[in-house]
Amino acid sequence: MLAKGAIIGKGINRYRVPGSWPHRISAWGRSFAFLTLTGFAALAWTQQARPPAASPAADSSLPAAPQVHATTAQAEAGQAVTGSISGTVVDPDGTEYEGARAALTASDATSGAAPVRMETTDSSGSFSFSGIRAGTYKLTVSCNGFATQVRSIVLNDGQSYQTEPIVLLVTRADSEVRVTASTAELAQVEVQLEEKQRVLGFIPNFYVAYDPHAPALSSREKFNLAWKTAIDPVSFLASGAFAGVEQAGNTFSSYGQGAQGYGKRFGATFADSFFSDMIGNAVLPSLLKQDPRYFYKGTGTTRVRIFYAIANAVVCKGDNGHWQPNYSSIGGSLAAGGISNLYYPASDRNGVSLTFENALIGTAGSAAMNLFEEFVIRRMTPKLPSYGSSQP
């Protein structure tokens, strides 16, 4: 989430590649602990904010009661209970788009669904279809200059269906020259969307692609993403927090105490994640033409998704779209561990064998982080764009 090694994984990912394990809890471990505690806090807040269940002895005069009885009476009388379908359309920059056309059609003409309905998005980019009977529908969103977006929706009786934000993407041009330019434009749009991905609204989750067909990143985009990950405020906050923990436990006693000791610990902690980011997510991916992002799967059985997440600790997508060994991440972990020997106290430096051993541990940590990305993080990341299913 920050990088394949940075504060929340590769965005949560950036601390997933340890800088130097014997010096401190691994960078990934720090981030995983930070994210886990934050997740539990968010879950507790959600449970606390959830309205209490209605008491069996609730007063029948409550306003909601007549509506429930009416709905039940309708169902018992065999009358159809209508629902609604609504959503929001945004442009490539994530801004609500006014004037897009939303068309709703019944996928099955025999389902008794309403005829074609048309709406135009308002100033907030929203559209809404009310009085819709249960059935399967096709939602088509179109606008001049953008590619048409189509969604399949299954609506149940009385359901209020809210789609995920629908992103308007730039239309690809027809000529070969323009196709190349269009791919670069789409990659830039994808990066802009990923830079807005934040777990719980504030923790960077930049290195996860929820679009299964996301274009490959250019070298410039890889460096820009790594740099923004490294200097994100959350990166500094996390480094400061872990430096404080180390100071309290007198870890790396050679650094001493006081402001000077804290500054050294902070600098070493930040340097670990910085070098992991820049080498593992920018330098090596650019040289080896590999994509540093984790491509979210989200479909298939739980077993298939588990194997997919674990495998992505050692394989990655190349810029050519083919899967290949993830030399960038593994090499970045080894390089960051080696560089850390330049600034840690001599008594705490890694030997060569320990550096390789910790690279293997870091790879296992990446697999665990991928599982977290695949099954947990998406639910904790608000306002994600709506993409199609992944078919890696």
How does pLDDT run across 37-68, given as a tens digit for each residue?
Answer: 455 455 444 444 444 444 444 444 444 444 43
pLDDT of 70: 43
What CA–CA distances, in Å, run from 279 to 8, 227, 339? 17, 11, 11
Return the number of other C-beta atoms located less than 10 Å from residue 148's C-beta: 13
84-158, CATH topology level = Immunoglobulin-like (2.60.40)
What's the rounded mean pLDDT across residues 280-286? Answer: 91
Coil, strand or helix at 3: coil
Q: Which two tokens stand for residue 240?
A: 């400061």
> In 3D, which of 378, 384, 34 has the Cα closest to residue 195?
384
CA 125 to mean position of chain CA atoms = 23
pLDDT of 158: 87
What's the rounded mean pLDDT across residues 211-217? Answer: 80
Query: CATH 2.60.40.180: which residues of the chain?
Result: 84-158
Q: Which two tokens stand for residue 19?
A: 């800088």
pLDDT of 38: 52
Q: Give me the sign of the Cα torsion angle 371, 376, 380, 382.
A: positive
Q: Please tell me the distance from the alpha carbon of residue 326 to that of residue 280, in angstroms, as a whole number.
A: 10
Segment 338-384, tens digit of pLDDT: 787 777 887 776 667 667 766 777 788 888 889 988 999 888 888 77
Mean confidence (pLDDT) of the chain: 74
Q: Which two tokens stand for residue 271?
A: 């340097």
- In the predicted model, is pLDDT for residue 290 greater than 80? yes
Residues 6+ apart with CB under 8 A from 102: 87, 89, 118, 119, 120, 121, 127, 129, 139, 140, 141
Q: Please tell me the distance from the alpha carbon of residue 51 to that of residue 61, in angstroms, as a whole number.
A: 19
- In the predicted model, is pLDDT for residue 336 greater than 60? yes
| Alpha-helix runs per DSSP H in the chain | 27-49, 64-76, 176-194, 219-230, 233-248, 258-278, 284-288, 302-311, 327-339, 352-375
Segment 86-118, tens digit of pLDDT: 999 998 888 889 889 998 888 764 444 445 688
What's the rounded mean pLDDT across residues 121-132? Answer: 90
